[in-house]
Every structure is written in C-alpha cells, then in structure tokens.
Amino acid sequence: MFSPVHTFGSLFIWFSCQVSAVIFQQSPPQIVKDSTEVQINCSHDDTSLSIMLWYEHRTVQDSLSMTLIGSGYDTSAPNYEGQFEQQFKLTREDAVRGSLIIRKANPSQSAVYFCAATANNNQPAYFGQGTKLTVLGKEDGLNITPPTVQVLRPSSKECGNDDAPKKTIVCVASGFYPDHVSVSWQVDGEAVTTGVATDNAALREDDFYKITSRLRVSTKNWFNPETVFTCTVSFYNGTHTETYSDSLHGEEGGGMTREKYLRSTQTAKLSYGVFIIKSSIYGACVAFLVWKLQRSAGKQNH
C-alpha cells in the first residue's frame, strides 16, 4: 500500500495500510447512460472518523490517477477541490454515512470512486472498497456485450528451471463491453491464487475490451490428463453479475521433468563414456596393426 500525502486546505491525508481496521460499505458497481444522475452511498462503523472524503480513481493516458473530489465534517458544509463543485455534490446523513452525487454523469467520469474517512489532521485515512462506474456515451452506440473466454495451452518450448519446472496456462477474455470484469482460476474445481498473474486493467481494443490472466503450474500437474484447469470471468452487465468459463485438461505423459532430465543426462554420459572406450580400443588396434605392418616390411627388406 502506498502512502503519499494529499493536501486539502489545512488537512493532510495519509493513505494508511490499516484499511482493514474500519469496515466500509459502498454502493455496488453501476452502468448508466449519459447525462444520468448517479448516487454512490458510503457508510462505515467508526463514529470517531467524522471527516468523509471522496476520491476519483481512473486511468489517464495509461497511468492511474487518484484525485480528491472533496471532503467535510458531518456538521459542516463540504469543501470541494477545484471545479468539482459544479459536477459533484457531497451529502452527509451523520458521522458514518454519506453520499457522492454526480449531477449529470458523462463518459469522461467513468472511474472507480472511493469513500474514505479520517478523524483529523495527520491521522490515517481509511478507505472503502470503491464503486466502479461506467457511463455509456450517446454517440458510442455500443451495447453491453459479455466476454468470450478461451484458455490456451502452454508453449511446448517452456520448461522452467531444473529445480522447479513450470508451465504457463493463459486465459484470454475478449470482445466485452464495458470493462466490469474479474478473473479467477480453479484447478479440479478448487480455487487457486498461487501462480496467478492477471492484467491490472482490461485493455480497450476498438469498441471492446480484452483482459489476460496467466496461471503457472508445475509440470507434474500439467502432465496429468485427469487434471482440469478452469478460467472463470465474472462480468457485471448493469443489473447482475454473470460468469463465463473455459477449461482444458492436462496433457498425457511427456514433458521434461527434472527426473527425466537427470535420467537423460545420465544416459548421455554413459553413452559418451562407452563411445570413448570403444574409440580408445579401436585406436589401439589401429596402432598395433600399423606397427605390425612396419615390422613385417622391415624383415622383407633385410
């Protein structure tokens, strides 16, 4: 967890790694049409954290940007950063409940909105889980489209190192819109997280999105045709979340495991040793023959 300091008037906010100390609840993800009013609610369980803050987290030119929208005590009017007061409205019910209202949402405001809370100056700010918002543009003409999921077999050239040979299984989810997705892996129906590497965010390709996830497994697991590897993509379609999956089985036998590699090298060493011995014997025989012929020729000359 990073810890930069953000300034709001005389208020300094520190992003704390102690986010688990306070329990937050934020509105679920939303997909709305252009010019729609959007309300994102937030609540937490610590009455001592009377200052509530709202942040906009979005991608700007391939980099992530965390921008403070505004904050305030429950007993006073909120303060806004820059021109945000024209676009947003912050409301409070009490010390632990508040809302962020986007007056007329537009596609440029598609982002993840985080609610945070702190007690006073120089105290850690605790963050909620965030609410992802997608605003559909009028001119886009795009429909909500679920992903196509495909699991790809490892490259035959991949063998890892001798101590821990690995295979990489790749999952590609493509052709979906918008980018409300998450990716998970299962091996024989059991969820796995070790060895999983998923793109930080879906990439836009023309009108749709694509995301890739990789699962590294041991060659022992991969070279077992009874093992089933499944990639599951959860996609939020604006009303509920649906799952889309693809699976493949491990391969039959084969594969350069460490044991097989050691056996093959031992066999190669033995074969090379036999070759050297045979070559030596052959060389000795040739030398003996040459000597004998030379001796025979010498006797004839005499």
Both 111 and 158 in one domain: the answer is no
Average pLDDT over residues 132-156: 88
- Give yes or no: residues 58 and 112 share one domain: yes
d(CA 297, CA 293): 6
Q: Are residues 127 and 171 in the same domain?
A: no
pLDDT at 263 over 50: yes
**Same domain for 62 and 130:** yes
Q: Angle at the Cα of 208 (from 206 to 212), degrees rounded to 5?
A: 110
Considering the domain architecture, whether residues 32 and 123 belong to the same structural domain is answered as yes
Tokens standing for 102?
């986007």
Q: What is the pTM of this model?
A: 0.70
Q: How many CB atoms lie within 10 A of CB 23?
A: 11
pLDDT over 90, % of the chain? 60
Higher-confidence residue of 292 and 76: namely 76
Q: Report in angstroms the alpha-carbon separations of 138 from 87, 141, 180, 202.
A: 19, 6, 19, 22
> What Rg, from alpha-carbon coordinates, does the chain have?
33
- Does the pLDDT at position 74 exceed 90? no
Q: Cα separations (Å) of 80 from 42, 71, 84, 109?
A: 18, 7, 6, 16
pLDDT score at 143: 85
Q: For residue range 106-121, what is the model confidence (pLDDT) as tens digits?
A: 999 999 999 999 998 6
Tens-place pLDDT, residues 174-226: 999 999 999 999 999 999 999 999 998 899 988 899 999 999 999 999 999 99
| CA angle, 155 then 156 then 162, to 5° | 100
Q: Is residue 197 part of a domain?
A: yes
Give yes or no for a contact between 40 and 113, defined as CB atoms under 8 angstroms apart. Answer: yes
Query: Which amino acid, 278?
Result: K
- Does residue 193 share a domain with residue 116? no
Structure tokens at 100: 């962020």
Q: Look at residue 143 and tell me if it is in a domain.
A: no
Q: Among residues 136, 156, 182, which one ends one of the domains?
A: 136
Q: Give the ranges where the chain is alpha helix by DSSP (H).
A: 84-87, 219-222, 258-301
Q: Provide the domain limits for residue 278.
A: 260-302
- Pair (132, 154) in one structural domain: no
Count of domains in the chain? 3
Please name the amino acid found at residue 86: Q
CATH code at position 193 = 2.60.40.10
- In this predicted model, which residue has the larger pLDDT, 214 or 10? 214
**Looking at the domain assignment, is residue 204 inside a domain?**
yes
Residue 142 placed within a domain? no
pLDDT at 291: 61
Using an 8 Å Cβ cutoff, are 208 and 174 in contact? yes
* Residue 32, CA atoms < 13 Å, CB-side half-sphere: 22
Half-sphere exposure of 238 (CA within 13 A, CB side): 13
User: Quick one: 217 and 173 in the same domain?
Assistant: yes
CB-hemisphere CA count at 13 Å for 138? 5
Domain presence at residue 141: no
Per the model's pLDDT, the better-predicted residue between 236 and 280 turns out to be: 236
Pair (124, 209) in one structural domain: no
> In terms of domains, do 116 and 184 share one?
no
